Amino acid sequence: MKTKSITFIGLFTAMLCIAAPFSIPIPVSPVPLSLATFIIYLYSNLLGYKKALLCCLIYFLIGLAGVPVFSGFSSGISKLLGPTGGYLIGYFFLAFFTGFFADKFPHSIILQLLGMVIGSAFLQCLGTLWLSALTHTTFLQAAFSGVIPFLPGDIIKIAIAITLAPLIKKYMAKTQLSFE
């Protein structure tokens, strides 16, 4: 792996570690509002799925090691085993699908958008299943507290990421830099 790739992986992992802990609890859900998914949409589109998955893995390991990088400045295995654990694992699916579609369809904003939506759907389904099991509620009840309140924000995050990513790529090309 090139030094430049390692640098970008470190940079985007750091961005996730900085953004994710700043979360806003919402009254109707045990899941807080966070910018983590926005950062994952953006870096997965820019770096591609392999490097994006590596960013997620590093972030995940940092949090499991006890550094407070998860929502609400939390960390450790207890966070993974709590109500938001399924969403944390879902980050890997979000990174994979967003990055995969960006890699395979670099000139199609529509297909890149589709990758973000598919990744979001996997993240939300996994998180909802986990939340449902942990809270002993139905899938639908868990979706109403763990997904529905977040859909407008997710749409905005996706719109901003899908708009910013090509601009960043264009700037990087103009300055003769790349994410490889």
Report in angstroms the alpha-carbon separations of 43 from 29, 53, 99, 102, 125: 27, 10, 8, 10, 22
Domain ranges of the chain: 3-174
pLDDT category at 180 given cuts 50, 70, 90 is low
**How far is the C-alpha of 54 from the C-alpha of 10, rounded, in Å?**
10
Percentage of the chain lying above the pLDDT 90 cut: 87
CATH architecture designation of domain 3-174: Orthogonal Bundle (1.10)
Element (H, E) at 130: helix 109-135
Residue 112 has pLDDT above 90, yes or no: yes
Phi-psi category of residue 19: left, alpha or beta, with phi > 0 → left and psi -120 to 50 → alpha = alpha
Element (H, E) at 34: strand 33-34
Residue 179 has pLDDT above 80, yes or no: no
Q: What is the pLDDT of residues 6-41, one digit of tens each?
A: 999 999 999 999 999 999 999 888 899 999 999 999
| Sign of the dihedral through C-alpha 32, 129, 91, 119 | negative
Strand, coil or helix: 70: strand
Q: What is the pLDDT of residues 60-84, one digit of tens each?
A: 999 999 999 999 999 999 999 999 9
Mean pLDDT of 94-110: 97
Mean pLDDT of 86-110: 97
